[in-house]
Amino acid sequence: MSQRGISFRLNSHVSTFAILIISAIVYFNYHFSNKILIEKIEEGAVNQSNFVISKISRITIGTEEIAKNVSYQSLYYHQHNDLNLFLNQVLAANSSIESIHVEFDDQEESYTACISTGHCSHRCNAEDHIFSDTTAIEDQGIWSKPFYCMNDTSHLLVTYRTPIFYPDSKRIIGHVFCEISLRKMREMLSKIKIGERGYAFIINQEGNYITHPNEQWILEKNIFINQPGNFYSNLSEIEIKLKNDETVIGHGKSEYLNNEKAWYYFAPLPNSKWSVIIVMPEKELFKKIDLIFQNIILISGLGILLLFALNMLIFRRILRPLAEISTAIHRFSISSGKEQKSKDEIKMLADSLQDWQTKYGNLIKQQTHTASEKLKLEKDLKSARDIQLNIIPSGKPIFPDHPEIDLSAILKPAETIGGDLYDYFFIDKHHLLIAIGDVSGKGISASLFMAIASTLIKTNSKTISAKDIVSRVNNELSERNAHQYFITLFIGVLDVRSGTMDYCNAAHNFPYILHPDGSIDVLSKSHGLPLGIYKNKTYKRSKIDLKSGDLLLLYTDGVINSMDSKSQHYGIDKLESNLLNLVDLSADEVVSRLVKSIAIYEGENSQADDITLLAVKYLPKTENQA
């Protein structure tokens, strides 16, 4: 803009102020309109939830009333041998109930009976643990946890249990069990129209889905555990309010709607300790106001363009004399044959001084990059590389006291120094620790972070628990990680006597186990996030038993991300294919052949990322001695 004429610049400033004023007006209008719309959304959600709650309550509250009525009359009908007939009549009159079961158990009267009717000849789940609410009172009704029918494992049910009292006493002589179908309840909710793509589902007190449009998520997902990354509202506060029987509205992403932003309305269901959730897509809610907003922006943009054109005509007429004077002065001030760099009538007078300032700046830059400084930088990088390689142990160790271990490793930085690491050492006489890691990024910063991580692995390896070592290293890295670097890390602790390896994989590439018969297993369990991001993060562990002749291969991203001349990656498939051809080879031969394979694949392409390989072959003593 500085090369434009003064009339253009002045017009630009005026137009900019106009844009800012119009933008502010549009923003405040949109903001307050959104605020009003959000209030309407909440009002509509309340109405929708009341409708849904009334539908569900007809079933739940109705079931409770039926169970209580049956409990009052069941002893009479049982004593007159008409209990089955009575239950069949109740079931026929109430289609929402799947089955009714009555159980008597009174040792004093010495009689026991179990009468049932409906789709099962017995209760679908007769275990007491489904009624695990510790706050429930024994002589009152209680809802069970959801469970699947034993005769139809795809049919999700829930039971309401209420006690049967001996007449005119508080002595419990049995129970009535009314089972209702959550599958039918889910089908009922799917028929309720909530906008164009909205939906409703039910969660229990713990937050588990007990109905949902996606049947695979029922009892598998929890709104308070599985959703934190996709939810903008505070789920802890929402959970507390629901337990206090309060309604609340939230905002987040709907995984069911392909992570589309949506509004959630939470409302507790009476008596059952369940909650219904109404989900409405944000696009659908704000569709009309967004369309109005787009039209306002379009009209405002056209108005600003018209204002700009009119101002240009006015300013050029007013400022024409100043432009003619500036051009005339500039002709006398610049060198012969030099082009005019600016059309700004005032800036033209300062062009010569600016040219000299530019030349002086270039001269200073050339002086700061002398040959001696370049040599010093190269020397410093070489020293840093030597220090880094000294941190990494030998790639071909010999363990005289442990012939059952055949180990080989290699690290090839993409630049002079890199961010990969590997390590191995005996924690005690019988436990070998092996580690491999990949720091985010490359160069000096990554190598320094790698050095810190390598040191922390050694200082924290006073235990044979891989997950404890990973947790401790993560805590210390997180405390001193101001620049938010992170490292993926695999640590295994191998008991050389039994071949059992305890390992923890913190988001690193999955290792391979090559068996002597030519088969391959992948240790495809990940036990947590990369290290250095979150302090006090919990990590898990796994175990694997290595058999005689098994070879464990660890590697970093640089292996599979190597590219050929067509920018095609080396990839997992090629790595597995080459590994299958390396049966019965030593650890050193496996590493050497894989490195050679990668080099041939890359051809003349430069290495894109640090490459690290570590192979451990387990050869128990009995085999070696034989």
The DSSP line for 251-271 is EEEETTTTTEEEEEEEEEPTT
Torsion sign across C-alpha atoms 294, 193, 187, 206: positive
CA distance 396 to 409: 7
3-state DSSP assignment of residue 581 = coil
Cβ(513)–Cβ(461) under 8 Å?
A: no
Looking at 164-286, list the stretches that DSSP marks H as alpha helix, in order from N- to C-terminal side.
182-190, 235-243, 282-285
CA distance 132 to 273: 13
Angle between helices 287-333 and 351-368 (to 10 degrees): 100
Distance of CA 319 to the CA centre of its chain: 60
Question: Which CATH code for domain 193-285?
Answer: 3.30.450.20
3-state DSSP assignment of residue 87 = helix
Cβ(233)–Cβ(252) under 8 Å?
A: yes
- Reading the block at residue 229, the tokens are 């990354």
In this structure, what are the phi and psi dihedrals at residue 379, rounded to the nearest 5 degrees? -65, -40
Domain boundaries, the chain: 6-25+294-366, 60-183, 193-285, 383-625
Within 10 angstroms of residue 104's Cβ, the number of other Cβ atoms is 18
Fold adopted by 383-625: Phosphatase 2c; domain 1 (3.60.40)
CA angle 462-465-468, nearest 5°?
A: 80
What is the b/e burial string over 279-303, where b = at least 16 CB atoms within 10 angstroms of the residue's CB?
Answer: bbbbebbbeeeeeebeeeeeebeee
Burial class (CB in 10 A: 0-12, 13-18, 19+), 344: buried
pTM: 0.44
CA distance 311 to 589: 78
Closest to 534 (Cα-Cα) out of 178, 229, 221: 229
> Quick one: DSSP state of residue 215?
G
**Could you tell me which residues come within 8 angstroms of residue 377 by beta carbon, excluding any fewer than 6 positions away?**
none
**Could you tell me which residues come within 8 angstroms of residue 80 by beta carbon, excluding any fewer than 6 positions away?**
none
What is the model's pLDDT at position 578?
Answer: 93
| Cα end-to-end distance, the chain, whole Å | 85
Cβ(223)–Cβ(277) under 8 Å?
A: yes
CA distance 451 to 411: 14
Looking at 415-483, list the stretches that DSSP marks H as alpha helix, in order from N- to C-terminal side.
443-459, 466-479
- Reading the block at residue 47, the tokens are 């109405």
CA distance 182 to 177: 16
Q: Where are the beta strands (DSSP E) in 443-550?
A: 487-495, 500-506, 512-514, 520-522, 542-545
CA distance 483 to 485: 6
CA distance 435 to 492: 6
- Reading the block at residue 611, the tokens are 């490459």
What is the model's pLDDT at position 479?
Answer: 84
Beta bridge partners of 70: none
CA distance 115 to 83: 7
Beta bridge partners of 101: 116, 177
Identical fold, 193-285 and 383-625: no
Q: What is the CA radius of gyration of the chain?
A: 37
CA distance 161 to 101: 9
Q: Which residue has the tokens 């029918």?
A: 149
Task: Compute, in degrees rounded to 10, the torsion defined by CA atoms 55, 61, 65, 68.
Answer: 150
Query: Mean pLDDT score of the chain, rounded to an integer?
Result: 81
Tell me which CATH homologous superfamily contains domain 60-183.
PAS domain (3.30.450.20)
Residues of the chain with confidence (pLDDT) below 70: 1-11, 29-46, 106-122, 133-136, 227-229, 288-292, 315-316, 318-390, 482, 622-626
- Reading the block at residue 292, the tokens are 């109005």
Burial class (CB in 10 A: 0-12, 13-18, 19+), 498: exposed
